[in-house]
Amino acid sequence: MTSGSSSHLDVRMRGFSARALVAQVREWIDEESIPLSGEEVGIAEAHGRVLAADVVSTIDVPEFHRAAMDGYALRGAETTGAGDYNRLAFEIVGESLPGRAFAGRVQAGQAVRIMTGAPIPDGADAVLPAEYASENDNRVEISTAVAPQKHVAPRGEDVKQGTTIAAASRRLRPQDVGLLASVGCATVPAIRQPRVRILATGNEIVQPGDERKPHQIFDANSHMLGGLVARDGGVLESCSALADSREAIRDAMIAPGADVVLVTGGSSVGAEDHAPMVLAAEGELAIHGIAMRPSSPAGMGKIGKRLVFLLPGNPVSCLCAYDFFAGRAIRLLGGRSAEWPYASRSVPVGRKIVSAVGRMDYVRVAIVEGCVEPLAVGGASILSSTTRADGFVIIPESSEGVAPGGEVLFYQYDLIS
Amino acid sequence: MTSGSSSHLDVRMRGFSARALVAQVREWIDEESIPLSGEEVGIAEAHGRVLAADVVSTIDVPEFHRAAMDGYALRGAETTGAGDYNRLAFEIVGESLPGRAFAGRVQAGQAVRIMTGAPIPDGADAVLPAEYASENDNRVEISTAVAPQKHVAPRGEDVKQGTTIAAASRRLRPQDVGLLASVGCATVPAIRQPRVRILATGNEIVQPGDERKPHQIFDANSHMLGGLVARDGGVLESCSALADSREAIRDAMIAPGADVVLVTGGSSVGAEDHAPMVLAAEGELAIHGIAMRPSSPAGMGKIGKRLVFLLPGNPVSCLCAYDFFAGRAIRLLGGRSAEWPYASRSVPVGRKIVSAVGRMDYVRVAIVEGCVEPLAVGGASILSSTTRADGFVIIPESSEGVAPGGEVLFYQYDLIS
């Protein structure tokens, strides 16, 4: 790692002196990306959030014995022998509905009409399903027997008071949210979502739909990054386009309000690559230059607790550097797993993947007849290579590539949900 | 299928006469769930949306030959033979920056300082990377050769004018959004997201945080459904709790504004199960009663173009019926794939899974030492079974279950992103 070296203060037009390994960069990120503090979040907004603390139920669910079927509450022992050719009759003495219990007590020979979820009346111990009963006047005839406790959900069957129903760090599934609601949680303690500021730098950048001057291009990166940040659980604090001005970049990098700043463009060693110097002057440029392709000019550091990622302006490099580094930090800050949010599986190689020893390669691939094939595309500026690709594979620093028939771990771009 | 039978008009307290098979129900859903119309969506909101039409680029990207590296634009042929021990010198006649082209023409022996993304000046045909150059006064010495076209990204390299860059029905990845932005799309044509109304019925239901009377329970289902609808690309139109009143359910079911209505509770054959009758009276109760466990009392139909799903009040049944039926419809209406948004893989069975021939079983399972084991839990009222489970397996109607060692397709509850 090249942290702290004075050679970083101005590498413009002189190239990188040394490049950090991807594993070293990830170590730095994992050390710096401590989950943010907790906040109370309304239950309606809790889906997908990460719990900041254990949630312990203060109640039993259900809080009473309840019917698990629509039918008739009665004494199970009295139904013994009932069948199609031996129908037994009971007197109906009332009904028990969800939220409206039967007030009395069921005696021998009696039954109470009951609905799923309604409280079991005192004196009854089983529910005879409606399918096996026919009602006439105040009597019900039954054609099957039910044992005591049959179709009765006992108190606390789902959740017992004092149980931890969801532990800190759990990412809430829809059913977790349901369970938290069922014990009465109107809010839940969730890890705060990282606020992410996107700064697209470059005099050449124009927003889609705006007028262009000659040789200006439309901003692709900040729109791509917006989707990536949302995917990883970040909240877009702001998104601005900035000219190649050291002052403008400095002001936007240090303005309060963001946990993470993503700077696209101007990350490298060109004459107008101000961002690395601004970061070094205002905080710490911990890493600049990484042994990988694409994205080698990426950098990162921090200003106070704020993490700043310098993403190359070439859109494939931007995507790759985001996915390797910035996305990992955003997921960790929000309490999520560091792992990539891509489905992955082992797939044989169909056409040779070439790489170079000493750097990690991020290779866009297509799945052709069940095998991965590298896309025959040029450099990091070809964003359409990532829309034509089905996904990517990673070739480690130690490898010269993979020959046909070798197995690689394929990461699928398309998300499952 | 039991569509249209008059026996559906009032099955209360009499049970289902016949249950539809899951495959038949899905056929009905697939026929009725035609993708909604298109709308123009701002590029910043396009991530994850489904295109309603092909998008064809009206421009080349880039629209000029541009530098793929920081360095010096020059004539590649003039660099032949350059090396560490044979440094060649060029006169620097200007610079080309992104958005600010060099106005003149590069002559023999000349070079123009250039940054990644900047236009290649007339007369130059290659970029010599900054790493291999040292600059003094108005001269640059180079220590490597570059062939013509080296580090030059030709016009239209990424996107050629007239190309379809994203086809109708494509769900937009972050990089698709970037590519659409790069050709100047300020908006994109996207399939409208289904507006979903949730109606939680039952006198016993209270919202989390509210005061409860005896035997009332907190609403779990509508909070769980809110997360599921968001996951599947629906937009929550409204979410209301209703008493067991035929009029209230009718009014809420027919009020304008929703593409899909989800009714939880009161779907079955109990005395206060109004929803099936309301649906039959106001539109069509196409299906009521399904050969599956849980969720057998589920039903569905339509009122005009609106799809109405009757989901059982038991929360596991509600989750299961949503995932099998309502979620499928919401995904299809929004132009997404019908497939479940769960990662799945084949896993051996560790402990016998018991099922019954003639119905489909949705079995919550845990992964124990690499094998699936059914959770030893009771019925459909145990929502915590779905939070303790790692996922589920489906046992088809034709099967009595799966013995240890058999392989099943395991669906993982935890989403990847």
As for the ipTM of the complex, it is 0.92
Q: Which has more confidence, A56 or A270?
A: A56
What DSSP element (H or E) covers A23?
A: helix A22-32
Instruction: Give the pLDDT band of residue B44 (cuts 50, 70, 90).
Output: very high
Res. A72 pLDDT band, cuts 50 70 90: very high
Give me the residues paired with residue A199 across strands.
A240, A263
Q: What's the mean pLDDT in A356-384?
A: 92
pLDDT band at B377 (very low <50, low <70, confident <90, very high): confident
Judge: A63–B268 Cβ closer than 8 Å, yes or no. no
Q: How confident is the model at residue A17 (pLDDT cuts 50, 70, 90)?
A: low
**A58 contacts on B by Cβ (under 8 Å):** none
**pLDDT tier at B15, thresholds 50, 70, 90:** low
* B115, B186, B269 ranked by CB distance to A70: nearest: B269
Express each pLDDT in B212-264 by its tens digit: 999 999 999 999 999 999 999 999 999 999 998 999 999 999 999 999 999 99
| Token output for B27 | 């056929």
pLDDT band of A400, cuts 50, 70, 90: very high
Domains, chain B: 6-36+193-333 (3.40.980.10), 49-61+157-191 (3.90.105.10), 66-153 (2.170.190.11), 344-412 (2.40.340.10)
Q: What pLDDT is recorded for position B11?
A: 54
What is the C-alpha separation between A194 and A331, in angstroms, rounded?
A: 8
A183 touches chain B (CB under 8 A): yes
The reply to whether residue B181 touches residue A219, judged by beta carbons under 8 angstroms, is yes
Residue A14 has pLDDT above 60, yes or no: no
Query: What pLDDT shows up at residue B128?
Result: 97
Name the residue with higher pLDDT: B378 or A380. A380
Chain A touched by B268 (CB under 8 Å): yes
Q: Which residues of A touch B118 (CB under 8 A)?
A: 204, 215
* pLDDT reported for residue A69: 87
Q: At A125, list the tokens.
A: 């111990």
Q: Bigger pLDDT: B41 or B376?
A: B41
Structure-model confidence comparison of residues B16 and A282, the more confident one: A282
Q: What is the mean pLDDT of residues A127-153?
A: 95
Residue B342 to chain A, least CA–CA distance (Å): 7
Does residue A6 register a pLDDT over 50?
no
pLDDT at B17: 66
- Please state the rounded mean pLDDT for residues A296-305: 96
* C-beta of residue A140 within 8 angstroms of C-beta of residue A72: yes
Distances (CA, A) of A307 to A251, A254, B163, B296: 15, 11, 39, 52
pLDDT band for B378, please (50, 70, 90 cuts): low
**Mean pLDDT throughout A383-392?**
96
Cβ-Cβ contacts under 8 Å between A and B: the total is: 340
Q: What is the mean predicted confidence (pLDDT) over A197-224? A: 94
Q: Return the pLDDT at B5.
A: 39
Q: Tell me the backbone φ, ψ of residue A93, rounded to 5 degrees.
A: -110, 5
Q: What average pLDDT score do residues A111-118 get?
A: 92
Ranges A42-56, A121-135, B270-284, B287-301: which has the least confidence:
B270-284
Is 80 exceeded by the pLDDT of residue A3?
no
Please compute the mean of the pLDDT values over residues B253-277 and round it to a whole number. 88
User: Phi/psi of residue B101, each to 5°?
Assistant: -70, 155
Across residues A349-366, what is the average pLDDT? 96
How far from B342 is each of A406, B215, B311, B415, CA to CA, in Å? 28, 36, 21, 6
pLDDT at residue B188 is higher than 70:
yes
- Measured CA to CA, the distance from residue A90 to residue B63 in angstroms comes to 86
Q: What is the pLDDT of residue A8?
A: 42
The answer to whether residue B172 scores a pLDDT higher than 90 is yes
Tell me the mean pLDDT in the region B136-159: 95
* Residues in B touching A167 (Cβ below 8 Å): none
Q: Which residue of A has its CA nearest to B173?
A: A414
Q: Note whether A370 contacts B: Cβ–Cβ < 8 A.
A: no
pLDDT of A167 reads 98
CA distances from B175 to A50, A383, B69, B182 (A): 26, 7, 22, 10
Residue A117 has its nearest CB partner, among B186, B204, B226, at B204
Instruction: Tell me the pLDDT tens digit for each residue of B306-354.
Output: 999 999 999 999 999 999 999 999 999 999 999 999 999 999 999 999 9
Provide the pLDDT for residue B379: 77
| Mean local confidence (pLDDT), B76-90 | 97
How far is it, in rounded angstroms, from Cα B10 to Cα B275? 11
Average pLDDT, chain B: 93
Max Cα-Cα span within chain B: 97
B8 in A contact zone (CB under 8 Å): no
Q: What is the pLDDT of residue B270?
A: 63
Tens digits of per-residue pLDDT, B121-146? Answer: 999 999 999 999 999 999 999 999 99
Residue A87 confidence (pLDDT) above 90: yes
User: What Å distances lie between residue B213 and A66, A240, B207, B266, CA to CA?
Assistant: 16, 52, 12, 20
Contact check, Cβ <8 Å, A268/B181 = no
Which of A249, A415, A221 shows the shortest CA–CA distance to B415? A415
- Could you tell me the CA-to-CA distances from A63 to A5, A117, A159, A161, B204 in Å, in that order? 64, 11, 9, 9, 12
**A171: contact with B, CB 8 A cutoff:** yes
Tell me: pLDDT of B380 over 90.
no
- C-alpha B356, offset from chain centre: 33
Pairing assessment for the beta strands A292-293 and B391-395 based on DSSP bridges: unpaired
The pLDDT > 90 percentage for chain A reads: 88
Contact A382 B157 (CB under 8 A): yes
* Pairwise CA distance, residues B164 & B179, whole Å: 11
Tell me the mean pLDDT in the region B178-205.
97
Instruction: Give the pLDDT of residue A267.
Output: 76
How far is residue A100's CA from residue A106's CA, in Å, rounded to a whole number?
Answer: 16
Q: Evaluate whether A206 touches A245 at the Cβ level (below 8 Å).
A: no
Whole-number pLDDT of residue B62: 93
pLDDT band at A376 (very low <50, low <70, confident <90, very high): confident
Please tell me which of A97-101, A310-314, B306-310 the model is most confident about, judged by mean pLDDT.
Answer: B306-310
The reported pLDDT for the residue numbered B287 is 96
Look at strands B55-56 and B164-166 and give their pairing: antiparallel
Q: What is the pLDDT of residue B8?
A: 42
Residue A239 has pLDDT above 50, yes or no: yes
DSSP track, B43-94: GGG-TT-BBSS-EE-SS-BSSS-EESSSEEEE-GGGGTT-BTTB-EEEEEEE
Does A300 have pLDDT greater than 80?
A: yes
For residues B135 and B112, the answer to whether their CB atoms sit within 8 Å is: no
Best mutation site among A17, A55, A115 for testing chain B: the one with the most B CBs within 10 Å? A115
